[in-house]
Structure 1
């Protein structure tokens, strides 16, 4: 994974004249196409004043998890903890919401605007033990860039 190339392409997407929704979709599509073990890439955002996340743009298989209560699953836990969550083997997690039998690992990075956790990027992989510090670094960079356009 060449983080510099990936970051530059994300910068180009962010700087484009597209709508915010189109930029988020382009980032999902780009990451899923460029990183072989990113099998599902999506954004969840806080659903108004409710204590839940709502699915926004994504690429990959359809999911029934369009609303996730805070505290539930990996995404819901990140909404409460405000911390990155890397799960190398989802079968080892008690509080995991299964998105499909193929998913073996997941990484979720929060997005902050003015110090408030307003959403997150969520990546599922069909490979166990696949995420590294480079994935966290890349996704944190993306979340910071996204926070500037929200």
Structure 2
């Protein structure tokens, strides 16, 4: 399924009034993992209150030990500090990388902003080297902008 085909499906999930935010996030994780062949792990991390750490929220894929990530550590922790997208074409070439699985070859992390504040991020791992393009970044920014609406 193309990004253009997925966008209205994301909007449908987000706009369902009877579904909790956690369930919406889980449905989006499933939608992306099931329809984009190089998205092998899809999950959300959120800032833990006022603490300088991220806590794992909804995700789909292999279980991970990384349920709490300090700011600055790993790709997710760096995005929590930089507030910028981070695309890692080859995780083996990255110094500050937290290995979740030996099958992970690349990663993309896009911050999620609500009212200009970085409250979390979508994190996607791939077992393919360098699959992520600018189109992935724009699509995931769209996904996060839709999710942000559930926080108002």
TM tier, smaller = over 0.9
Residue 118 of structure 1: how far off its partner (Å): 0.3
Please identify runs of 4+ aligned residues in structure 1 that moved more than 4 A: none
Residue 95 of structure 1: how far off its partner (Å): 0.2
1:3-41, Cα deviation, whole Å (9 max, x unpaired)? 211101001101112110100000001100000000000
Classify the secondary structure of the residue corresponding to 2:8: helix
Question: 1:38 maps to which residue?
Answer: 39
Question: 1:138 maps to which residue?
Answer: 139
Mind listing any 5+ residue stretches in structure 2 that lack a counterpart? Answer: none
Question: 2:83 maps to which residue?
Answer: 82
Residue 131 of structure 1: how far off its partner (Å): 0.3
The alignment's C-alpha RMSD in Å is: 0.7
Mind listing any 5+ residue stretches in structure 1 that lack a counterpart? Answer: none
Residue 47 of structure 1: how far off its partner (Å): 0.5
Classify the secondary structure of the residue corresponding to 1:80: helix
Classify the secondary structure of the residue corresponding to 1:41: strand
Q: TM-score, normalised by structure 1?
A: 0.98
Q: TM-score, normalised by structure 2?
A: 0.97
